[in-house]
Chains A and B, each alone.
Chain A
Amino acid sequence: MSDWRAHYHNEDEEDQDEAEENEEDVKFTGRDSLIFLIDASESMFEVNSETEISPFDMTIQCVHKVYTSKIISSDRDLLAVVFFGTQKHKNSVDFKHVYVLHDLDSPGAKRVLELDRYQGEKGYKLFKEDLGHSWDGSLGDALWVCSNLFSDIRLKLSHKRIMLFTNNDNPHANDSSKARMARTKANDLRETGIILDLMHLWKSGGFDISLFYRDIVSLSEDEDVGMQLKESAKLDDLLRKVWAKDYKKRVVSRMNLNLGGGVELSVGVYNLIHSARRPAAIRLYRETNEPVKIKTRWFNGETGSLLLPSDTKKAQVYGQRQIVLEKEETEELRRFDNPSLVLIGFKPLSLLKKHHHIRPSQFIYPEEELIAGSTTLFRALLTKCLERNVCIICRYTPRRNTPPRFVAMVPQEEQLDSQGMQTMPSGFHLIFLPFADDIRKISFTGKVVADRDQIEKMKRVVQKLKFKYRPDSFENPVIQKHFRNLEALALDLKEPEEMEDLTLAKNDVIDGRIEQLAEEFTSLVYPPDYNPDAKGPQKRKLDESAGRAEKKAKVEVLVGEDEIRQHLRSGTLGKLTVPMLKEVCKQYGLKGSKKQELLDAITSYFSKH
């Protein structure tokens, strides 16, 4: 088992690699920031009779979810919550009716708690007492405050977004100057690259975007469908909308797809799936709980003097010989190509083996910035690959000093859900293909095939336990548990929040559904005294008897005359292995070494005899 264990550790190392890659992302692109700008006027607190929840409550729940999930998945992102239309105000420029609950910072436990105070009916009361409502607020002022929040941040921000939650489709119907100011400010935001999204919520009579918000919200080229969306009445819808907007497409790298003959287009590579992990522990100073810096130093064991990177070389030992390379050379030998995708050719999708999987796939989408015109060629390739059911085989070098791998580019057509939201973008998935070294030889047991009854019975079991798989159905219990523990410690809870482990089989439910069938099936496949749990002596006995049966088993290798004639009739003699054929030849005194020779010898022998 040691081998397996060793690999298990290996995987951890790989994960580290992966983590580092991500780190790089952040370094280049800066932090993402998001402000929740929430309308706090009284209409937001009206309960929707259908869903039994007020738009405000729904918003708070939604922000709560975003907070907690950001803590887990991207705790470097900066979030803020700003209310407008409040009686009280709190902001750096003292604008009335704008209340900054949280300025831009990474979300923490305290913030989650503060937010939770305004949940539900009690929260409503508290909100009224604390902040109050007012109709005199100006959206322009609120946007101004938001843009100040962004500019107060000294870090490099890669993505600046404001999500506006409101159910008032015409906020300044009676005050054209306020309306104008809001428009102007919205325009300002757009110019600084701040994206303003409208999360319009339920309102009796429906939300009419054309009244006011059409001119306010950003419509980047990316979001051409955004405006046709209906207002969100349910939390799930709202959350989905928020997620879809919030996920910034963080490109892993940009590179050229080289088709050959000097034809190149540029693409961006993305990770649509990226394993979220429990974050690594950090060391804290015992006295103050402040994080300590960890420094690794290299020094000469004999003299104790510090070693600079140039004072060391790299080595490996093979055949009892230490082979030394310069550090640069260890990098150089990993260099084959510049980062690129190089077209090898096309293959039918059916040749792509389902079980040839070595690592999670990536996704590519055209990139106009490097090579203008890429989108058109990309679209043409995609259209034709979809139409002809082919994938593209490419040599893929993700980064410099990274040896190439081969990938199959599998075409993906865009998919939308019933609400018109994109569930799958159009582009190509990069499926990594294994090299010869990655495929292990496995000894397998002989083939025993179940009979029709047994299979039919199992089919009924399978159908009884049918469900619709969705990739978002399962939460990672390890991560969830970890953060619930931290949450409990952070918020001084007595116990961590209960967690349902969705990965566990619900045996009672399963048993209930297949009770009868399960018994019928086991009685069909297992003898009455068979106990799958039996271990120890019983099993060893089995082994021994198997050993004695060996000789007999070997004889069975020999292919009988009838079988050969059967094969000859059906033309399937070629299915036999060379040793089997040799064995046959030996029996009948035939000669030959290559398969075809053996086949010919046997065929001619049996046609005569």
Chain B
Amino acid sequence: MPLLTKTNLRSWRDVSIRVRACPCRKVYEDEVKVTPDRVHQSLEGQSSILEAKGHPDKFKEAERCDQRCLCNVVRMHRDLVIAADEVDLGGKNEPPVQSAVVLCWDVGRTMSMALPGEESSFEQAKKVVLLFIQRQVFAESKDETALVLFGTDGTSNPLATSDQYQHIIVHRGLMIPDFDLLEDVHSGIKASDDQADFLDALIVCMDLLQKQTLGKKYEKLHIAVFTDLSSPFSSDQLDVIIDNMKRAGITLQFFLPFALDATGMRDSGDTAERRSNISQGKGLTAQQKEGIRMVRRVMLSLDEGGLDEVFTFRESVEQLSIFKKIERKPMAWPCQLTIGSKITINIVAYKAITEEKIKKSWISVDAKTLRKEDVRRETVYCLNDDNETEVTMEDTIQGFRYGSDIIPFSQVDQEQMKYKTNGKCFSVLGFTKSVQVLRHYYVGRQVLKVFAAKDDEHAAVALSALIHSLEELEMVAIVRYVYDRRSNPQIGVAFPLIKDKYECLTYVQLPFMEDLRQFTFTSLKNNKKAAVSEEQLSAVDALIDSMNLVMDDGEELEDLFKVSKIPNPHFQRLFQCLQWKAFQPDDPLPPLDPHLKSMLDQPQEVADSSLASLEQLKKLFTLRDSGKKKEQKMAQQIFKNNDPEEQDAKRARSDDDFNIVSLAEGTVTAVGSLNPAKDFQALVQQKNVNFGEVTKQLMERVYQFLEVKNHQYYMKSLDCVKVCRKEAAKVGESQHFNTILKTLKENVEQKGCKISGS
């Protein structure tokens, strides 16, 4: 898996959406019903694992990622979620629920030591912390993060006494992470010369969580410890620690410079395999080995799968390098599905797939002061006269174009006369064979999933009957959909979607008659230009074989390139640049992150295997670049210009240029009938044409015109003769002209026509 390695997948995917963090109480109530599926819902949403029937591998991966990653700290813990639901049931309107995370970072003496050519543990840990906070900042997460440093020179924490909890500093209490914190981590925090007990630090963190979350509700309490385990510790309070953590529901993760099993204590399995490349275990000190044993003990007593919550710095950096996926809370849209007036089913719909946009847009700021207040915008209306006389908004009225006419149509009138709907609606107009609704008819920019209304079992049965009957008949419903009173009605298709865990109708908008464009294209079937030989066809066949993105090993299909798992590169790039600019405001933008770039490229194995068939294709098909496109590109590259308007103008101009160039070079090859005089002149001036030949062509036109016996054509003929005379004189072919004229005269006289005024 060259592109979407599991690691990659994990890193950005599992940071997922927080449905349950919804402030709206209703959602909680809704979820109560679905307890049996709760856990799977979260999986489903992130990775559609349920769709991957017969993909045990996928399943495993998803599960693993669900449990293991640092990213988890920003996601609800499933056990906690259930608890939250229960608590919430009786509750009133609760405030938003978020997570609280304490980053517990060892900045002690040994952390800054490094082998030559390698990064110190301190630097590595710093990277992970930075990445984590960055993701939180750009996702605008409401989760609160605190930073506790240990191994510091000084001491500052509420538990400190003269000899207890020394060299531990609560650097920052629970707050929503911001750039101040980022900056601190980036350049403010330095490694020190002291060291501290990591278990002590853990207690400080727990104390912090306990005190600072008092009276507020969090769906997850979490501590992440970054250390090299080189400092001595005392395990006196270990049981208390574990006990308290369990009781408070605090989850814990360790981030170490080496793998936990580097010492060979951990047994095999793919985990070991995955980590085997980080084999720094040899250099571990006795203290560190001691520390490892302690970490194992702590983690295992918290959860039998606890060892999966221990990471190396390196793998974390990799996983966190992709920014968080954009999160949106799906909003319920309750309505009634109707079939005529007799069948009514209570439904609720959610926007399930839609092109997600960045919430924020660019604001304009003054280039010098960088203040947006200094940039004001004003819109003025002016008449189309020479002075561009300004008029006030009040002096204008609204109008619409009706073809070439402009019809004044006041807003009030328009409101009154416009099409009105009776509010929300999801009514079936009829049913049709699903093959009649082709995929490319789909319009609109969203997909709705339609479920039965919450807590309405009867509606669920009724909807299920509809879903299954459509499925069995291979039919779909054509529906009128109106979001609310103010929105425009849509026609759309509702088709059944049946999964293991749920079933629903899926709604997509269809076009109106006005939206269709009946373009006609030359048939490719009987097109001589597109005649394809058998050899060529089999070369394409080979190409398809070599570039197959789906591996089929007989038992299961593996999709090598799942687009629905790739993060939108636009967002990734935007965040990367913003973050860069925040710290390096004067530097140019950084290059595209190679990790991101590789996600957008062909899987390496496909690229490799297709080389031969592409070579064959090249041999069999003649493809000749006319060079037109390139020239344009080059111009744009040379005059690197980013102003879109100007660019467009340029593009338009260069298009014109091409036309002129092609006209001058290509078109005039013979004397045409439309403007023979001009053609003739052009040809004579080209000079590579025989004058006699061109004159002959011209005269052919003249004779043709005379046949028509029409005044206009007589005049045209005369023009031709005049031009011929002029050009002949210029090139010294007067004799030739005279002969021609003589012949013409005889001819005309024969036919009984007279040319006057020559």
Contacts and interface: CB of A to CB of B under 8 A. Distances in A.
Interface in A382-404: 382-385, 388, 390, 393, 395, 400-401, 403-404
Contacts of B92: none
A271 B492 CA distance: 19
B561 A393 contact: yes
Interface stretch (B232-240, B254-262, B423-431): B423-431
Given A440-B330, A593-B305, A379 B527 contact: yes
Contact of A594 (B63, B361, B468, B531): B63
A259 interface: yes
Interface centre among A105, A286, A444, A595 (most CB of B within 10 A): A444
B687 interface: no
Given A272-B519, A393-B561, A476-B513, A435 B405 contact: no
B549 A295 contact: no
B406 interface: yes
B514 to A, nearest CB: 4
A47 interface: no
Contacts of B445: 11, 14, 358-359
Contacts of A140: 708, 710
A351 B399 CA distance: 49
B655 interface: yes
Contacts of A603: none
Contacts, number: 810
B673 A336 contact: no
A426 B525 contact: yes
A355 B375 contact: no
B138 A318 contact: yes
A235 interface: no
B338 A505 contact: yes
B457 to A, nearest CB: 6
Contact of A106 (B355, B404, B588): B404
Interface residues of B, number: 273
A307 B655 CA distance: 32
Interface in B343-359: 343-346, 350-357
Given A325-B577, A596-B60, A438 B517 contact: no
Contacts of A225: 523
Contacts of B531: 376
B736 interface: no
Contacts of A14: 355, 445
Q: Determine the main DSSP class of A at the interface with B.
A: mixed
A390 to B, nearest CB: 6
Interface in B502-519: 502-504, 506, 508, 510-519
Contacts of B78: 579
Contacts of A539: 455
Q: Determine the main DSSP class of B at the interface with A.
A: mixed
A403 B439 contact: no
Contact of B465 (A256, A457, A518): A457
Given A448-B452, A475-B513, A486 B409 contact: yes
Contacts of A352: 439
Interface string A53-81: 00000000000000101111101000000
B355 A359 contact: yes
Contacts of A368: 529
B520 A222 contact: yes
A75 B517 contact: no
Contact of A345 (B574, B578, B592, B602): B602
Interface stretch (B150-158, B198-206, B376-384, B692-700): B376-384
Contacts of A345: 547-549, 560-561, 602-603, 606
B567 interface: yes
A473 B516 CA distance: 11
Interface in A244-298: 244-245, 247, 249, 254, 256, 259-266, 270-276, 279, 281-287, 289-298
Contacts of A437: 325-326, 356, 567-568, 571
B530 A471 contact: no
B589 interface: yes
A465 B409 contact: no
A467 B462 contact: no
B626 A372 contact: yes
Given A444-B34, A503-B480, A510 B339 contact: yes
A251 B253 CA distance: 56
A329 interface: yes
B397 A283 contact: yes
B514 A475 contact: yes
Contact of A75 (B85, B403, B444, B489): B403
Contact of B458 (A274, A355, A526): A526
Contacts of B273: none
Interface string B556-592: 0101110111111111011001100110010011001
Nearest 4 A-B pairs (CB), nearest first? Answer: A441-B45, A593-B305, A261-B614, A510-B340
7 contacts: A106-B404, A108-B404, A181-B713, A294-B380, A376-B531, A477-B489, A482-B418
Given A436-B567, A440-B45, A504-B480, 18 more contacts: A4-B483, A67-B403, A107-B404, A281-B411, A311-B366, A347-B549, A355-B447, A371-B623, A373-B622, A377-B536, A384-B541, A414-B524, A443-B41, A444-B34, A458-B468, A505-B427, A515-B342, A532-B344
